Structure 1
Amino acid sequence: MKNIVVIYWSGTGNTEMMAQSVAEGAKVNGDQVELLSVEEATSEDVISADLVALGCPSMGAENLEEAFMQPFVDSLEEVDFDNKPVVLFGSYDWGDGEWMQDFEDQMKEYGASLVTEGLIVNLTPEEDDLIKCKELGEQLASA
Structure 2
Amino acid sequence: MAKVFIAFWSGTGNTGIMAEAIAKGVTAAGGTPEFLDVESASADILKETKAFALGCPSMGVEQLEESAMEPFVEEVEAFASGKQIALFGSYGWGDGEWMRDWTDRMTGAGAKVIDGEGLIAHETPDDDAKADCVSLGKALAAAAE
Common fold by TM > 0.5: yes
Is the 1:28–1:141 contact (alpha carbons within 8 Å) kept by the matching residues of 2? no
What TM-score, normalized to structure 1? 0.92
Distance 2:7 2:63 in 1: 17
C-alpha RMSD of matched pairs (Å):
1.3
Deviations 1:81-123 (A, max 9, x none): 3421111000000101000011111111221111111110000
1:69 matches 2:69: yes
Aligned residue number for residue 50 of structure 2: 50
By how many angstroms is 1:137 displaced?
0.5
One-letter amino acid matched to 2:95: D
How many residues are treated as equivalent by the alignment? 142
Structure 2: gaps of 5 or more residues = none
One-letter amino acid matched to 1:115: I
Distance 1:15 1:67 in 2: 17
Is the 1:3–1:50 contact (alpha carbons within 8 Å) kept by the matching residues of 2? no
Structure 1: gaps of 5 or more residues = none
Superposition pairs for residues 2-17 of structure 1, below 5 Å? Answer: 2-17=2-17
Distance 1:16 1:33 in 2: 14
Quick one: percent identity of the two aligned structures?
46
Runs of 4 or more off by more than 3 Å in structure 1?
A: none
Is the 1:26–1:140 contact (alpha carbons within 8 Å) kept by the matching residues of 2? yes
Deviations 1:16-66 (A, max 9, x none): 010111111112332232112211321222113231100000000000000
Distance 2:41 2:23 in 1: 15
Superposition pairs for residues 84-123 of structure 1, below 5 Å? Answer: 84-116=83-115, 117-123=117-123
